[in-house]
Amino acid sequence: GWKNFYELTHSLYVEAAEVACLSGDYNVVEQYTEIALNNSKTILDKIKLYEIRIIAYTVQNEKLKVLDTALFVLKLLKMKFPQNPRLADVLISLMKTKFMLIGKQPADLFELPEMTDLFLSAALRIMVRMGMATYMLNPNLFLLITLKAVRLYVRYGNLNSSPIGYAAYGMLLCCINDIDSGYEFGQLSLKLLDKFDAKEYRAQTLVLYNSFISSWKLSAKSTLNEFVNAYSIGQETGQLDYACTAACIHSIYAYYSGQNLIELERKMSQYNSFMHNMKNKETLTTQSIYHQAVLNLIGSSNNIYYLKGKVYDEDKMIPIHLETKDRNNLCDVYINKAILAYLFGEYEKALKNSAIAEKYLDGVSGTLSIPVFYFYNSLIMLSGFEHQSLFRKKQILNKVSSSQRKMKKWAKHAESNFLHKFYLVKAEQARVLGKTLKAINFYEKAIRLASDNGYIQEEALANELAAKFYLYLKNKRIAKVYMEQAIYCYILWGATSKVNYLKGLYSQILGFHNQDGTPIKNMVVNLENEIDKGSMVLDTATIIKATHAISGEIKLEELLKKLVYILLENAGAQKVCYLVKKEEKYIVQAEGSMDRNDIEVMKEIDIENTMSLPKKIIYYVGRSRNSVILENASVSEKCKSDPYIAAKKPKSIMCMPVINKGNLLGILYLENNLIQGVFNKERIEILKIISSQLAISMENAALYANLEKSEKELRRNHEKLEELVEERTAKLKEEIVERKKAEKLLEEMANHDNLTGLPNRKLFYSELKNSLQLAKENKFSLAILFIDLDGFKMINDTLGHSSGDIVLKIVSQRLLKTVREGDMVSRFGGDEFIIFMTNVHQNNTIRDVCKNIINEISKKIVLGENYGYVSVSIGVSIFPDHGDNIEELIKKADAAMYRAKNSGKNKVIFT
């Protein structure tokens, strides 16, 4: 029993409770731990039992119980945290932590000794266990706990749970956009896992690192296997709660990364069963939100806009999330509702849901849900831009610009995850501002980057938005190409509901013919059978390639080169020309052929001065604005009188106008001398798509050329002005640099002693005031050491003030060597110094510091050819024992110092 075999009985109850927890028998956990707690003799014996309870509460999604139990246990261990910390508390704690880490790199922290204090080790285990629930319920408290843990590691050494603390600190740094430092601390956490062989914390650390750190630096797709790894490790090591967490976040990040939805749904179903068997309500609830969103997209739910189906019911669950203050799941719900509403054209619903999600963003801090929210929130606000008031439009543009600044910063560290999102929002910004050229360019960049990085769902969305943009421009041909590609990408993603939605919405407008949503290359399959001559057929890939190349070019010369090259490569032509009309004459602006490697542009050749083109056909197309297709021009009755056709006897000819807004911009001429019937009506319809984009790009190129000309004129005018300003600017810069140096020097002088460089009385009072406030809020002790030099006056009087100054400088350096990191040494005036020590647990700590000061100061001081000795008298006061304000504490420390002086000097006396 407990009296005769206490240790054995206690161990048996602990093991029995652990087994019950692993098997999901949580009532038994409660019974066994209650009995063992009532019979436990020491605090440390109780800690393990409370730890098991916290694990059980975590798995059951009882976050409030996790928090209450953990804070109670930490209080037993003399470690208190405010229940509702403010942001100011977090910032002060962050400053303290950063101050303690000055001069220390993650590599230095790796070499810290192992922690030996059993009470601190127990407290840190509890802080680790409460982490995830605290993160979801009270993010500020989570940050305070993380920062406290890091300071404890730095001061007292590492232990096997340190990887989690450092990973959480890395997460915090990533959240405040110090991503490089956050990544370094994440790497430190992984290295410490191996150093301590910390198997019981490996799954948790991997989840933290890959959820909150690596995706800000590496491709999000690269983290997916790491979650699967953590899922397996968690099962092997008994960390079943974190096996469930790994599975849950793997599902979310796979969804965000564009994994095929059909495959993802199967995986989610497997995870669902595992979480259900583990009775892990927390992760099961979160994953079910995303699982239901996936089911909606693949067509397995009747409620496209609502998260209401076989795995999740928002009507039932949202009230529960509100009651339990579950900010994490509330944010997840409303982000998914906003995305679904946006994808299916319910923009008002999307805006409403997005606004609610924003209120709960702190519940998903540090995760990929943050950039996903800002991405879709920007698109949602811009979707209804044209219907807003002028004031609201300004609000939207400002808010989107703010979100874009965030996205740009994230993209600097992980382009593959964020750059295509940044450019798609930029395209939509340009669209609503009427900047057509920029919009076209940004849509193309977004499509290309999304495709390159495997974000198939966002490649689909970018194509869809580009198609809508071209519809707005009344260019149905190009719109159709983009919409076909969007549907094809949505099919690859597995979003059946979205495919059906787009087909139903645009089938009549764009005239889709394919039932399976595949690209429009099927429109020209018969062409291959007709021609059967080995020439390439223009399919969707060619059209997309051509429109991408053309739309992305704003310099006329390069635009024409790309056009001719693409048509020679893909259109079955041996010769391609582009002509423009100038002063009633047709001028060849670009020409290329299979016989020559180069493409000639901007040579401005009048067709009246060349025998290389059929003039009659060119003039007819220019006049009638109708296309001409000749299967065999050499035998055409209408054209055989043309000198060029009579001499060269070409076979296939196609000549078509390039028209924009009713105006003739130019004429495209394609020719094949070897094969008859290369160009037909189907092909000319597809080439019209390319010519439509060409017309827009030609107009943009002309605008760009005019802009460039204006810029050159402005540049010439500015050069003269710059020369005049340059000299004055240089002088101003010198003055500014000197002024800043002076200001910095004045600031230093205002806060530091000129002789010793130590903080002066003003800075000391300021820092002491802040530290005293922290001590009051966190209920820890603070000590004041008032120091006066013994024997200083004799040296000053006999050897002179210069020697006295040397003594004061040396004493200052010796004092700095003896105090702890984080303590502050100040010169109070004359030969008086004052020190304050923070976070003092025992008087012995103060005595040790004072003893070191007495020993260090009493050493010989070399003064040129002479030498001397001084000693110190020290008076000590302690907050809160001897006072609760600065004046009272300093007064009592000063009085104690005089008692030390009067009782023999070279000693310390406490108030």
Cβ–Cβ < 8 Å for 404, 378: yes
Same domain, 793 and 898: yes
Q: For tokens 């508390």, name the residue.
A: 89
Count CB-CB contacts under 10 A for residue 667: 25
CATH number at residue 652: 3.30.450.40
Q: What is the mean pLDDT of the chain?
A: 87
Cβ–Cβ < 8 Å for 621, 655: yes
Q: Which of 57, 76, 95 is the last residue of a domain?
A: 76
Same domain, 848 and 885: yes
Q: Which of 706, 726, 745 is the last residue of a domain?
A: 706
From CA 128, how far away is CA 148, in angstroms rounded?
A: 12
589 three-state secondary structure = strand
From CA 584, how far away is CA 859, in angstroms rounded?
A: 103
The whole-number average pLDDT for the span 351-377 is 96
Residue 806 lies in a domain: yes
Say which range, 372-386, 504-518, 690-704, 854-868, has the weakest mean pLDDT.
Answer: 504-518
Same domain, 2 and 137: no
Same domain, 92 and 67: no
Give the amino acid at 501: Y
From CA 288, how far away is CA 311, in angstroms rounded?
A: 6
From CA 425, how far away is CA 407, in angstroms rounded?
A: 10
Handedness of CA 735, 737, 743, 746 (dihedral sign): negative
**Listed residue (48, 11, 46, 52) closest to 29, CA to CA:** 52
Residues 221-257 have pLDDT tens digits of 999 999 999 999 999 988 888 999 999 999 999 999 9
Cβ–Cβ < 8 Å for 281, 57: no
The proportion of the chain whose per-residue pLDDT surpasses 70, expressed as a percent, equals: 90
From CA 289, how far away is CA 330, in angstroms rounded?
A: 10
Residues 503-547 have pLDDT tens digits of 899 987 766 544 444 443 333 222 223 223 333 334 555 566 666
Long-range pairs, 319-327, Cβ under 8 A, ≥24 = 324/63, 324/64, 325/64, 325/137, 326/63, 326/136, 326/137, 326/363, 327/136, 327/137, 327/139, 327/360, 327/362, 327/363
Cβ–Cβ < 8 Å for 616, 599: no
Residues 648-679 have pLDDT tens digits of 889 999 999 988 778 888 999 999 988 888 88
CATH number at residue 849: 3.30.70.270
Residues 441-467 have pLDDT tens digits of 899 999 999 999 999 999 999 999 999
Same domain, 70 and 109: no
Length of the chain (residues)? 911
**Listed residue (568, 555, 558, 567) closest to 596, CA to CA:** 568
Same domain, 776 and 886: yes
Cβ–Cβ < 8 Å for 857, 825: no
Same domain, 154 and 52: no
* pLDDT top residue among 775 and 394: 394
From CA 669, how far away is CA 693, in angstroms rounded?
A: 17
Provide CB contacts within 8 A for 576, sequence distance 6+.
563, 564, 567, 568, 590, 591, 592, 593, 668, 669, 670, 671
Tell me, what's the pLDDT at 320? 95
Tell me, what's the pLDDT at 511? 67
pTM of the prediction?
A: 0.62
Give counts: helices (H), strands (E), the chain.
Answer: 37, 13
Same domain, 771 and 890: yes
From CA 854, how far away is CA 789, in angstroms rounded?
A: 10
Say which range, 113-127, 420-434, 699-713, has the weakest mean pLDDT.
Answer: 699-713
Determine which helix (DSSP H) or strand (DSSP E) holds 881, and give its type and residue range.
none
Same domain, 38 and 92: no
Q: What are phi and psi of 814, to 5 degrees?
A: -70, -35
Cβ–Cβ < 8 Å for 164, 204: yes
Residue 313 lies in a domain: no
* Cα–Cα distance list, 368 to 187, 248, 291, 365, 774 (Å): 19, 13, 17, 9, 34
Q: Give residue 26's domain range.
A: 1-76
The whole-number average pLDDT for the span 398-425 is 97
Same domain, 611 and 687: yes
Residue 391 lies in a domain: no
From CA 23, how far away is CA 846, in angstroms rounded?
A: 50
Residue 736 lies in a domain: no
Q: Is 833 left (phi over 0), alpha (psi -120 to 50) or beta?
A: beta
Q: What are phi and psi of 786, to 5 degrees?
A: -100, 120
Same domain, 1 and 57: yes
For the cut 90, the answer to whether the pLDDT of residue 715 exceeds it is no
Residue 729 lies in a domain: no
**Listed residue (823, 808, 822, 820) closest to 872, CA to CA:** 808
Q: In the chain, how many domains are there?
A: 4
Residues 717-735 have pLDDT tens digits of 666 666 666 766 666 677 6
Residue 182 lies in a domain: yes
For the cut 80, the answer to whether the pLDDT of residue 739 exceeds it is no
For the cut 80, the answer to whether the pLDDT of residue 698 exceeds it is no
Residues 66-95 have pLDDT tens digits of 999 999 999 888 888 887 888 888 888 998
For the cut 80, the answer to whether the pLDDT of residue 569 exceeds it is no
Residue 556 lies in a domain: no
Residue 772 lies in a domain: yes
Same domain, 72 and 95: no
Q: Which of 46, 76, 106 is the last residue of a domain?
A: 76
> For the purposes of burial, counting CB atoms within 10 Å of the CB of 307, is it exposed (0-12), middle (13-18) or buried (19 or more)?
buried
Q: Is 758 left (phi over 0), alpha (psi -120 to 50) or beta?
A: beta
For the cut 60, the answer to whether the pLDDT of residue 277 exceeds it is yes
